[in-house]
């Protein structure tokens, strides 16, 4: 287990990028129909999309490269509506939310989530951490979804060595962003919560 403040200090991290769902909080949301509905949308553009049933979360970017902004708009609209319809609440990771609140003066903190802005902003406001982030990047603001590092590019300052950046998340998409961006990653399950 990693003591987050110690880990950050010893590795001289100054720019911390937090995922939201599964990291700062767990959205109480039934994702069971999400994949099938995304496949249905992509299927309007490519009839062979049904072959991607098991990996649609990670293959969406391949379709975006082929079909561009029109498909992206459809996927963003779906994501926003799906989350609005299915979200019934959230459970807070008190340790990380307190960390964000107590360290906004010490570190440059960013939020980079695969959720829609309309889903996340009210929660971040309710948790009173909206002002603790230098920038909030949501799925509807990126050209490509995680694990593509497009969202990191919206955060990255080329005057700051990548050694000073740390991604904190809970998924292969989050670790994939970190790897693709060339920055360190810590999984939320590895962090001591005391």
For 38-77, write each residue's pLDDT tens digit: 988 998 998 887 666 655 667 889 899 999 999 999 999 9
Q: Are strands 25-29 and 15-18 parallel, antiparallel or unpaired?
A: unpaired
Mean pLDDT computed over every residue of the chain: 94
For residue 171 the two structure tokens come to: 């998924």
Confirm if 63 and 45 have CB atoms less than 8 A apart. Answer: yes
pTM for the predicted model, two decimal places: 0.95
Clarify whether residues 12 and 48 are in a common domain: no
Q: What is the mean pLDDT of residues 7-20?
A: 97
Domain span at 33 = 29-87
Clarify whether residues 110 and 162 are in a common domain: yes
Clarify whether residues 154 and 65 are in a common domain: no
Q: What is the pLDDT of residue 53?
A: 60
pLDDT-above-90 percentage for the chain: 87
Q: Which residues pair with 18 in a beta bridge?
A: 111, 168
* Least confident range of 7-11, 36-40, 83-87, 99-103: 36-40
Clarify whether residues 8 and 38 are in a common domain: no
Clarify whether residues 59 and 114 are in a common domain: no
Q: What is the mean pLDDT of residues 1-11?
A: 94
Q: What is the pLDDT of residue 98?
A: 97
Q: What is the mean pLDDT of residues 147-172?
A: 97
Q: What is the pLDDT of residue 16?
A: 98
Clarify whether residues 106 and 136 are in a common domain: yes
pLDDT tops 60 at residue 180: yes
Residue 77 to residue 101: CA distance in whole angstroms: 31
Of 171, 166, 181, 176, the residue nearest 2 (C-alpha): 166
* Least confident range of 59-63, 133-137, 157-161: 59-63
Q: Count the domains in the chain.
A: 2
Clarify whether residues 11 and 41 are in a common domain: no
Q: What is the pLDDT of residue 92?
A: 98
Q: What is the dihedral of CA 105, 110, 116, 122, to 10 degrees?
A: -10
Entry field: residues in the chain: 194
State CA 29 to chain mean position distance. 16
pLDDT tops 90 at residue 160: yes
Q: What is the pLDDT of residue 52?
A: 63
* Least confident range of 55-64, 101-110, 113-122, 162-171: 55-64
Task: Tell me whether residue 138 is exposed, middle or buried, using C-beta atoms within 10 angstroms of its C-beta: 0 to 12, 13 to 18, 19 or more.
Answer: buried
pLDDT tops 60 at residue 2: yes
Clarify whether residues 98 and 83 are in a common domain: no
For residue 74 the two structure tokens come to: 């459809």
Q: What is the mean pLDDT of residues 79-105?
A: 97
Residue 178 to residue 187: CA distance in whole angstroms: 11
Clarify whether residues 81 and 58 are in a common domain: yes
Q: What is the pLDDT of residue 169?
A: 98
């Amino acid at each position: 287990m990693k003591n987050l403040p110690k880990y950050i200090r010893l590795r001289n991290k100054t720019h911390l990028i937090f995922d939201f769902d599964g990291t700062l909080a767990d959205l109480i949301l039934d994702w069971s129909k999400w994949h099938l509905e995304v496949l249905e949308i992509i299927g309007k553009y490519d009839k062979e999309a049904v072959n991607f049933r098991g990996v649609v979360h990670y293959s969406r970017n391949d379709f975006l490269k082929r079909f561009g902004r029109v498909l992206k708009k459809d996927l963003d609209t779906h994501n926003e509506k799906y989350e609005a319809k299915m979200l019934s609440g959230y459970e807070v990771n008190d340790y990380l939310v307190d960390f964000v609140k107590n360290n906004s003066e010490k570190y440059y903190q960013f939020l980079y989530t695969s959720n829609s802005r309309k889903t996340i902003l009210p929660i971040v406001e309710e948790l009173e951490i909206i002002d603790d982030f230098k920038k909030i990047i949501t799925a509807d603001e990126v050209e490509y979804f995680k694990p593509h590092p497009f969202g990191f590019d919206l955060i990255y300052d080329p005057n700051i060595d990548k050694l000073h950046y740390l991604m904190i998340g809970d998924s292969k998409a989050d670790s994939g962003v970190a790897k693709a961006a060339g920055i360190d990653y810590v999984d939320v399950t590895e962090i001591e919560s005391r």
